[in-house]
A and B are shown apart, each in its own frame.
Chain A
Amino acid sequence: MDDFLAARSQMALSLGFHIIFSCIGMVMPFFMAVSHYKWLKTNDEVYKNLTKAWSKGVAIFFATGAVSGTMLSFELGLLWPKFMEHAGPIFGMPFSLEGTAFFIEAIALGFFLYGWDKLNKWFHWFTGMVVGVSGLASGILVVAANAWMNSPAGFDFVNGQYLNVDPIQAMFNKAWFSQALHMCLAAFTATGFAVAGVHALMILRNQNKEFHLQAFKIAAVFACIGALLQPLSGDISAKDVAKRQPAKLAAMEALYQTEKPAPLLIGGIVNEKERTVKGAIKIPGALSFLAHGDFKAEVKGLDQIPKDQQPPVAITHYAFQMMVGIGTLLALISLVYFIHLLRKKSLLEKRWLLKLFVLAIPLGYVALEAGWVVTEVGRQPWIIYGIMRTKDAVTPMPGIAYSFYIFSAIYLSLSIIVAFLLYRQIKMVPVLYNNSTSETSNH
């Protein structure tokens, strides 16, 4: 494996890993806060137990997200020193604010996890909220930094020099809002479906039904609202990408020729050598509408992009299809769920609906990862769009393949252990939280 490919693979692996943990760490606190609020208001032990059970999950995910995030802050330099040398001072603003947000999150988590029966109960609840809000802020800030790579701003690039640096302008680049919105909704949707699905599974298995039902309801509402709003945010993103990064949009839709009007492709097999797509369903004019809000508009194809500036088409296209496909499916499930809620029927009778949620456990995260593949691979060959190429940024140190293998092994084992720990937490729910003995020695 050559060093450049190894560096890219290691970066993709680290980000792909970190994204899942940080999303869970940033969304779960909100579920927790809702349940905690209900406990304080109703004095129903179920909510207290649920809050405690979830908080253990948050602790596990937060710790894993924190170390993988620490890893990333070094990895940027370890793998892409030439990028960081120039980009650091320009796009560093969100990172320095993120440092603050993350710090506050860690402090608040300390209060929250250890504050049972030690703090004023509303202050305790408040610290839980702070965990969520600062986590969300961290997420938005990091995405703003990534958005800068797609939409560089806040400097003048003159003869290879980066002049007139303005970090505030860089932070509020053109892509930050659409990307951050899309990411936040994705985080809520993916985490919501994963959590709701796990609890749905436990309901189907007839274990601690009351406990799991309340858990399911809280997570499902977040998930379904997220899934229904996501297409709107996707539309904002698509129009934005069409304007700023036509090469990425063309790769997403495998649009080799400029067309007017341009059709939307669903599925299809991409042949990168012959530059064709076979077997796709074509919806006439739909891509023109999605990209420019007009069924007859022209959409730039890859033929208008110089060869050495084109991203890999097949990966970007497949990832995009996967993201949109799953997104649509989750939105449909959400619709069914809300219709069901309006009819006020008991969920426990509708086993098929619960089964749908079980099916959706991994789907949100698959879509979320696919979305990151679209935005990262779709930006290639650039690391700073239009300014610096990824291959020019890579470290001069040889032998990166070994570090890639080591980290693959580490992340794989961490994933297995975390899954194992969650399995055990869930397995122990009947023991730890059975109605009468709510107080557990294990805080």
Chain B
Amino acid sequence: MEYVVITFLCLGILLYFLLGGADFGAGIIELFTSTKNRSRTRKTMYQAIGPVWEANHMWLIIAIVILFVGFPHIYTTMSVYLHIPLLIMLIGIIARGTAFVFRHYDAIKDDMQWLYNRIFRYSSFVTPLFLGIIAGSVISGHIDTNAKDFQSAYIYSWLNWFSISVGLFTVALCGFLAAIYLIGETEDAHDKRRFIKKAEYMNIAAVVFGAMVFIAAQLDKIPLVDWVFKNPVGLTAIILASLSLILLWYFLIKGKTQILRVLAGFQVTMILVAISYAHFPNFIRLKNGDAISLFETIGPQKTIYSLGLALLLGSILILPFLGYLFYKFKKKEE
């Protein structure tokens, strides 16, 4: 049963990245769209994510509940030492989620829209940035459980070049995913070209920030290169990710939007696998060289058993219903 629980944890994080991340990306795209095209982008985006909006963000809840029920030590270590970035991320989630709904459901469309839009765009950028910072910090080895002063316990745990690079890389990936997804949401040739352009920029940004992650890791003595290039699974994953990128641009020219989405999702999945597989089941790396492992800190047996059962039963109810939702509101393409 512990494998079931861990699988769901990974699945939750992955799906939040692919679906929630694309939602963030849509806001990022809007942020980097020139004023004259913004309302068109907004409209396309709303059609794309409106119906599945709330559902996409449930994956975060699933992941966090699994963490605090099944792996309380990991949950509380993160809560204590990454308090500040978690807080900023939460403010981003609150601001973004409400602004998105408010701007659509304000019965009078006036100057208030300006405010909602601003909040939505900036929080779309800040939230994945801090999600990335948190993810980077967890594996950076900067979390110091023996720290004596405030800065080293609560600030330097996340404020370092590696974490920030991962944060920026996350933002670029989200933007990339969203741009790829959005290409298929519009019929208009001009808009299609705009989104393709955005996907190109985001791709370049991802490559630049990705390089930054490796440089920062090298400077920080984080064995990222070993994880990715010296581990067979990591290496395979990164090769597959690169291949899918080439294929992706090929199909982009061909205009096969459905395949594009699958490839983009696959590519991001492979990147996540490449980064995390080598140090699995270690979840948090600490400054003193120790690591907090999933298996060593797993909750009591009965808890894991009932949690796994709840997740399995839940997915029987959720997945078909969710699948039908996507099918019903997304089938119009091609």
Interface membership of B105, Cβ < 8 A: yes
Which residues of chain A are within 8 angstroms of B51 by Cβ–Cβ distance? 110-111, 113-114
Instruction: Out of B70, B97, B314, B318, name the residue touching A89 (CB < 8 Å).
Output: B70
Interface size on B, residues (CB 8 A): 61
Is the CB–CB distance between A167 and B302 below 8 Å? yes
Minimal Cβ-Cβ distance residue in A for B80: A81
Within 393-443 of A, Cβ neighbours of B (below 8 Å) are at 395-399, 403, 406, 410, 414, 417, 421, 424-425, 427-428, 432, 442
Question: Do residues A88 and B72 form an inter-chain contact, with CB atoms below 8 A?
Answer: yes
Which B residues lie within 8 Å of A428 (CB)?
Answer: 107-108
Q: Which of B289-305 contact A (CB under 8 A)?
A: 299-300, 302-303
B56's closest neighbor in chain A, by CB? A106
Asked if B94 and A71 sit within 8 Å, CB to CB, the answer is yes
Indicate whether B194 reaches chain A with its CB closer than 8 angstroms.
Answer: no
Select one of A96, A102, A114, A399 contacting B58, CB under 8 A: A102
The answer to whether B299 touches A88, judged by C-beta atoms less than 8 angstroms apart, is yes
Indicate whether A90 reaches chain B with its CB closer than 8 angstroms. yes
Output the nearest chain B residue to A111 by Cβ-Cβ distance: B325
A67 at the binding interface (Cβ < 8 Å): yes
| Interface contact A110-B55, CB-CB below 8 Å | yes
Give how many A-B residue pairs fall within 8 Å (CB-CB). Answer: 203
Helix, strand, loop or mixed for chain B's interface?
helix
A58-66, A174-182, A318-326: which one contacts chain B? Answer: A58-66
The closest CB in chain B to the CB of A90 belongs to B303
- Check if B75 is an interface residue, CB within 8 A of chain A: yes
Q: Are A118 and B79 in contact (CB under 8 A)?
A: no
User: Provided the pairs A63-B54, A70-B61 are in contact, do residues A81 and B79 lie with their beta carbons within 8 angstroms?
Assistant: yes
* Residue contact A406 to B54, C-beta cutoff 8 Å: no
* Residue A104, interface by CB 8 Å: yes
Contacts A63-B54, A107-B55; A92 near B68 (Cβ below 8 A): yes
User: Whole-angstrom distance from the CB of A103 to the nearest CB of chain B?
Assistant: 4
Q: Which residues of B contact A86 (CB under 8 A)?
A: 72
CB-nearest residue of chain B relative to A166? B302
- Complex CA gap A396/B153 in Å reads 10
Q: Kindly name the residue among B83, B106, B318, B328 whose own CB sees the greatest number of chain A CB atoms within 10 A.
A: B83
Contact mask for chain A residues 80-123; partner B; CB cutoff 8 A; 1 contact, 0 none:
01101110111011011111101110111111011100110000
Asked if B101 lies at the interface with its beta carbon under 8 angstroms from chain A, I say: yes
CB contact under 8 A between A93 and B307, given known A398-B150, A428-B107: yes
Q: How far is the CA of A399 from the CA of B150 in the complex (A)?
A: 10
By beta carbon, the residue of chain B nearest A97 is B310
* Chain A positions within 8 Å of B61 at CB level: 69-70, 73, 99, 102-103
Query: Within 8 Å of chain B (Cβ to Cβ): is A77?
Result: yes
- Nearest-neighbor residue (CB-CB) of A58 within chain B: B105
- Interface flag for A165 (CB, 8 Å): yes
Report the Cα distance A118→B324, complex, angstroms.
13
User: What are 6 A-B pairs with beta-carbon distances under 8 A?
Assistant: A74-B86, A106-B55, A110-B325, A396-B80, A398-B150, A421-B105
Among all A-B residue pairs, the 5 with the closest Cβ atoms: A92-B69, A77-B79, A100-B314, A89-B299, A88-B72
| Residues of A that sit less than 8 Å from B by CB | 56, 59-60, 62-64, 66-71, 73-78, 81-82, 84-86, 88-90, 92-93, 95-100, 102-104, 106-111, 113-115, 118-119, 165-168, 395-399, 403, 406, 410, 414, 417, 421, 424-425, 427-428, 432, 442
